[in-house]
Amino acid sequence: MNGIFDAEKYMHAPSLILIAISCILIGIAFAIIYKKQESPPKAWKALVVFVLGMITFSFTFNLSDEVVSVPIIPIGVALLSWLLRRKGNEGRWQRFRRFAWLGFIWNFIFLGASLLAIPLDEMMYPKADISTYMMDIKRASLMATHPNSKEVTLNKEELERQMNKMKQKKIESESWYYGINEDSGYKEMFPYILTGTVPKKGRGLETLIFVEEDGKGLLITPNKGHQVYYRLEESILTGGAIEG
């Protein structure tokens, strides 16, 4: 999708699926509570009370790259209780209190959806699977990032052949650091960038893919999560006296 707003960039399919299910469940609960009222209030008033009941004091933290909020104090419920009970009108609070508490409960349903989105994300977008970061390579091309890089070209056929054979390896940051600071001068370990690739849809993922000098390593930096490193069996670069 091209334009001013790129929905794919912000979309996260696991979260959207679980939020949709949560909305259906809360909608069913709202309808049941409304129908069981002997003298139900106007639907729009009940909806306003439900929304205000969602106001809470929450504790927010990051868990596996997901923002999680745990509701602690039902501020909206307390405020509604005070407003609706004014002048001794206990009956008005009794008509609306279930909708207010349903709004507070929604926060826990949303919390559950956020937690379930973490394993669902791993199921749909395995971090060890290269297709999560490079689903489509039809328009892949190579770009040199270092002035002393060799004149090489991308062997797209070899890249396609090895798509299902790449193995994720531990990032050897310490050895790479010493490798680029040799006495003989600066040595760039990843002098090329692989452009034109498309990650798996539905995660809002964007990637920066660096290609190792020998053409057998890919260092992927995603906009979500941590860097990953893949090692190939054969070089995907040709020319420039690339060693096999």
Of residues 189 and 242, more confidently modeled: 189
Instruction: Examine the domain organization and report whether 102 and 208 are in the same domain.
Output: no
Instruction: Examine the domain organization and report whether 24 and 115 are in the same domain.
Output: yes
Give tens-digit pLDDT for 142-192: 999 888 788 899 999 999 999 988 989 887 766 665 555 555 555 778 999
Q: What is the mean pLDDT of the chain?
A: 86
Instruction: Examine the domain organization and report whether 93 and 156 are in the same domain.
Output: no
Instruction: Examine the domain organization and report whether 105 and 160 are in the same domain.
Output: no
Instruction: Examine the domain organization and report whether 117 and 134 are in the same domain.
Output: no
Which pLDDT band, with edges at 50, 70 and 90, does 1 fall under? very low
pLDDT value at 2 more than 90: no
Put residue 108 in one of left, alpha, beta given phi > 0 → left and psi -120 to 50 → alpha: alpha
pLDDT value at 104 more than 80: yes
Instruction: Examine the domain organization and report whether 50 and 36 are in the same domain.
Output: yes
The model carries a pTM of 0.76
Let me know: does 118 contact 64? Beta carbons within 8 Å: yes
Is 244 within a domain?
no
Instruction: Examine the domain organization and report whether 148 and 39 are in the same domain.
Output: no
End position of a domain, from candidates 124, 157, 176: 124
Instruction: Examine the domain organization and report whether 169 and 84 are in the same domain.
Output: no
Range(s) of the domain holding residue 66: 7-124
* Residue 41 burial (CB count, 10 A): 16
pLDDT value at 5 more than 50: no
Is 101 within a domain?
yes
Which pLDDT band, with edges at 50, 70 and 90, does 4 fall under? very low
- SS3 string, 21-66, reads HHHHHHHHHHHHHHHHCCCCCCHHHHHHHHHHHCCCEEEEEEECCE
pLDDT value at 222 more than 70: yes
Q: What is the pLDDT of residue 20?
A: 94
Instruction: Examine the domain organization and report whether 79 and 146 are in the same domain.
Output: no
Instruction: Examine the domain organization and report whether 105 and 136 are in the same domain.
Output: no
Give the whole-angstrom CA distance, residue 99 versus residue 142: 58
Instruction: Examine the domain organization and report whether 194 and 99 are in the same domain.
Output: no
Total domain count for the chain? 2
Put residue 227 in one of left, alpha, beta given phi > 0 → left and psi -120 to 50 → alpha: beta
Is 76 within a domain?
yes
* Residue 187 burial (CB count, 10 A): 14
Q: What is the pLDDT of residue 244?
A: 46
